[in-house]
Amino acid sequence: MKIKENDFGVLSNGKKVKIWTLSAGDLKLSLSSYGAAWTSLIVPSRNGIKDDILLGYSGLDGYLNNGPYIGVTVGRFANRIKDASFEIMGMRHALNANDGVNSLHSGPRGFDKLLWKSEAYEENEGVYVRFELDSPDGDCGFPGQMKAVVNYGLTKSNEVICDYQAKVDKPCPINLTNHAYFNLAGEGNGNILNHDVVLYSSSYVQVDKTGIPTGNIVPVDGTIFDFRKRRKIFLGGSFLKPFRGYDHCFAVDGERGKLRPCAEVHEEDTGRSMAVFTSQPGVQFYTGNFLKNAAGKHGSVYGKHSGFCLETQHYPDTPNQKGFPSCTAAPGKDYHEKAVFKFDVG
Ligand code: GLA
């Protein structure tokens, strides 16, 4: 196992951005301290060809202008909050709208656009980077001070480990996730529509045309949301039209709070497979619908569907939905969630 630290660049305030590269098992993962972003993940194919399976940019500049949230850590609250506002303890809190009247990924300046403190370490069977952020009272409109600690690592058994923790000094809804875009054929290598997908979800979070939950968690049975048996990503049909593809939160089967199977994705030509596990109630399956010729790594151009995301998370708009599993952290009640992405070839 190996840990490497390099300079990624300098911000206009003179602060240095680091890029860490972790090696363990057959994988190599690079992480930037700006946005606590996953910048590359090298995975061998069935024939031993090492490709980078993460969409991203060649340098820091790309991450400073990262409209599609490629690779970043999203917080305090990933996904949408209706009317950019919510009430907690009898107080209404206004966020910044950046998706029509709603807020998406905490508004125009979420955790994805901040420089995190970072430090690498080795533990048991893996190598990790610990990212830390202090978010002041009122940050993006959220109540109370919050300290976020996110650990990303690689194990000898070809797993990417994610551990999300937060402490608050006032009750506040928290939803931390990573917004990596995967293409198991290699970034820049066509679209992901030929990937085979399994989602361990018997139901999904029904949304209106703006992606805001109706409050209903509906069965996938007999719908285009049924991925319980391995199948290709099929975008036909009028139902997905307003979203331009999948951009939906699936309710992960099994006991919430426990790490359990969430998804499996397989790419036939390279033999690469990824299995995802999460402790969170849901996963946003997003098929890169809004990618529009983004200038990616080393000359790659990312068009619509050139990557997919599996953002393990709490359901969208949880702060306004009394019926959804709570994601409110409070003094003495820390937020703690985990996810694992395990890779295999064959
Ligand atoms: C999430 C949202 C999508 C889109 C992407 C970023 O997945 O659900 O609608 O905003 O982030 O482009």
What is the number of the ligand 1 atom nearest to the C-alpha of 104? 10
Query: What residues are paired with 309 via a beta bridge?
Result: 286
**pLDDT of res. 287:** 97
What's the rounded Cα separation, in Å, for the pair 125 and 157? 8
**pLDDT of res. 104:** 98
Mutate to test the pocket of ligand 1, among 77, 286, 304 (most ligand atoms within 8 A of CB): 286
Say which residues have a Cβ less than 8 Å from residue 282's Cβ, sequence separation at least 6. Answer: 205, 249, 250, 251, 252, 312, 313, 314, 315
Residue 69 CB–ligand 1 contact under 6 Å: yes
Find out whether 214 and 207 touch, Cβ atoms under 8 Å: yes
Residue 311 is among the residues annotated as catalytic for this protein:
yes
Percent with pLDDT over 70 in the chain: 100
For residue 109, is the peptide bond before it cis, meaning its omega torsion is within 30 degrees of 0?
no
What is the number of the ligand 1 atom nearest to the C-alpha of 290? 12
Q: Please state, in angstroms and as integers, the Cα–Cα distance from residue 8 to each residue in 20, 36, 98, 147, following that order.
A: 9, 12, 28, 24
**pLDDT of res. 126:** 98
**pLDDT of res. 252:** 98
Residue 112 CB–ligand 1 contact under 6 Å: no
Q: Which amino acid residue places its CA nearest to atom 7 of ligand 1?
A: 286
Average pLDDT value for residue range 61-80: 98
pTM comes to 0.97
Percent with pLDDT over 90 in the chain: 97
pLDDT band at 309 (very low <50, low <70, confident <90, very high): very high
d(CA 3, ligand 1 centre) in Å: 31
Mutate to test the pocket of ligand 1, among 55, 65, 69, 246 (most ligand atoms within 8 A of CB): 69
**pLDDT of res. 44:** 98
230 pLDDT exceeds 90?
yes
Grouping H, G, I as helix, E, B as strand and the rest as coil, residue 51 is strand
User: In this structure, what token pair is assigned to residue 158?
Assistant: 């070809």
**pLDDT of res. 85:** 98
237 pLDDT exceeds 80?
no
Instruction: Kindly name the residue from 159, 187, 264, 311 that is annotated as catalytic.
Output: 311
Mutate to test the pocket of ligand 1, among 104, 205, 287 (most ligand atoms within 8 A of CB): 104
Find out whether 164 and 150 touch, Cβ atoms under 8 Å: yes
pLDDT digits (tens, 9 = 90+) for 30-58: 999 999 999 999 999 999 999 999 999 99
**pLDDT of res. 318:** 98
Residue 104 CB–ligand 1 contact under 6 Å: yes
d(CA 182, ligand 1 centre) in Å: 14
d(CA 210, ligand 1 centre) in Å: 11
DSSP state of 70: T
Instruction: Kindly name the residue from 93, 105, 179, 305 that is annotated as catalytic.
Output: 179
Listed residue (272, 344, 274) closest to 312, CA to CA: 274
pLDDT digits (tens, 9 = 90+) for 103-152: 999 999 999 999 999 999 999 899 999 999 999 999 999 999 999 999 99
**pLDDT of res. 238:** 81
Helix (H) or strand (E) holding 205: strand 203-207
Helix (H) or strand (E) holding 60: helix 60-64
Name which of 227-236, 284-293, 310-319, 329-338 the model is least confident about.
227-236
pLDDT band at 236 (very low <50, low <70, confident <90, very high): confident
pLDDT digits (tens, 9 = 90+) for 188-198: 999 999 999 99
Q: Work out the mean pLDDT of the chain and round it to a whole number.
A: 97
What is the number of the ligand 1 atom nearest to the C-alpha of 243? 9
**pLDDT of res. 138:** 98
Residue 285 CB–ligand 1 contact under 6 Å: no
Average pLDDT value for residue range 49-71: 98
Indicate the burial class of 244 (C-beta count within 10 angstroms; 0-12, 13-18, 19 or more).
Answer: middle
Average pLDDT value for residue range 211-234: 96
pLDDT band at 308 (very low <50, low <70, confident <90, very high): very high
pLDDT band at 239 (very low <50, low <70, confident <90, very high): confident
d(CA 7, ligand 1 centre) in Å: 29
d(CA 317, ligand 1 centre) in Å: 14
Residue 212 CB–ligand 1 contact under 6 Å: no
d(CA 212, ligand 1 centre) in Å: 12
pLDDT band at 259 (very low <50, low <70, confident <90, very high): very high
